[in-house]
Each structure stands twice: as C-alpha cells, then as structure tokens.
Amino acid sequence: MFELSNKDLGIMSVTLQAAGAGLSAVNAFYSVKSAKYQARSQALDLQFQATMAGMNARQAEQQAQGLLYAGNQEIAARTMQYAQAQASERTRQGASGATVGVGSSAELSRSIEYAKDVDRYTISANSIRAANAARMQKTNLLAQQSILGTQARSLLRTSGASSAAGTAFGTLLGASAGAVGNYATMRHLGVF
C-alpha cells in the first residue's frame, strides 16, 4: 500500500491550503467584478427607464395642449353653428313679417344664445378636465424620471466604490494567514 509520512501530509496540507487561498482570492476578484458589471447594467437600465419616462412626460404635455386646442376648435365650430342658426332664424322671421328681436322672436334668440353658452362652457370644461388629466400623468412621469435617475446615479457611484484587486488581496491575506498558522503549528510539533 501507499503510505505517506507526517511530513508529506503536512506539506500537502499547507500546499492545498495555500492553493485554496489563491483560488479564494481569484473568486473574490471576479465576484466583485461581476457585481460591478451587474450594478452598471442595472444603472443603465434605470437610466433608460428614466429617459423613457421623460419622453412620455413630454408626450403627455403635448397631448394636454392638443386637447385644449381641440376644445377651442370645437368651441369655434359650435359658435359658428349657433351664429348660423340664429341668422337663419332671423332671416326666416323677417321673411314672415315678424318683428325681429321682440316677443317670442327675442326669446328664441336668447334661447339660442343660452344653448351656445352652455355648449361652449361644457366643451371648455371637458377639454380642461382632459388636459389636466394628461398634465397629472406628465407630473407622475417626471417624478418617476427623477426617482429612476437618482437610483441610476446611486448604483453607478456604488459600483465604483469597491476594488476587485483590493478585495482579492484581502481574501488572499486572510486565507494565507491560516496557511502560515498551520505551517507554524506543524513546525512547532516537529512535523517539519
């Protein structure tokens, strides 16, 4: 059978412990590197999300302005329709020989004017309400952009804070201390 002396076992023990220390240092180095790359990747993803939130916020503002413009256009079209209806009614009344602006003719004119005002206020209120909803969405998106940007900057700062080489060196020192201690114990016991 194959037999090893205490000295051979001691040398193997110290050698394997030193090799383990080296492997631990390499593992620590690449673990820190991997964590840095992962943090940078997350930061880039957050920056992208922040950029998209900013773009969506700008679109929400454009939508709000478009809604207000469309509301104004609709008010103008309705006002023209009511003006045309009022002119047609006056023409019809004048052609029939009625006195325009007196009695039921005046009431009809006031009714048309009232309906025009109600429509105008309703359209205006609806377009303002819709524009405010779009602007609320814009505000939320801008807040989201700010939060995501802050998170991205924080990740970028922290990803550069730890040193892969320093971590590997610290691991190597710690593990080597164990190997040196083991060697000193074996030497004290007379194995070497």
Q: What is the pLDDT of residue 11?
A: 76
Model pLDDT, residue 108: 85
pLDDT (tens digit, 9 = 90+) per residue, 92-144? 877 887 776 667 778 888 899 999 999 999 999 999 999 999 999 999 999 99
- Quick one: pLDDT band at residue 187, thresholds 50, 70, 90? confident
For 9-53, the pLDDT digits (tens) are 777 777 887 788 778 788 888 888 888 888 889 999 999 999 999
- In sequence order, what DSSP letters do the residues of 50-99 get, joined into one string? HHHHHHHHHHHHHHHHHHHHHHHHHHHHHHHHHHHHHHHHHHHHHHTTPP
Domain regions of the chain by residue span: 6-188
Which residue type, as a one-letter code, is found at position 85? A
pLDDT of amino acid 174: 75
Confidence check: pLDDT of 69 > 80: yes
pLDDT, position 137 = 97
Residue with more model confidence, 167 or 133: 133
Rounding to the nearest 10 degrees, give the CA dihedral for residues 28, 33, 37, 42: 40
Residue type at 15 in one-letter notation: T
Report pLDDT for 35: 83
Query: Tell me, what's the pLDDT at 162?
Result: 66
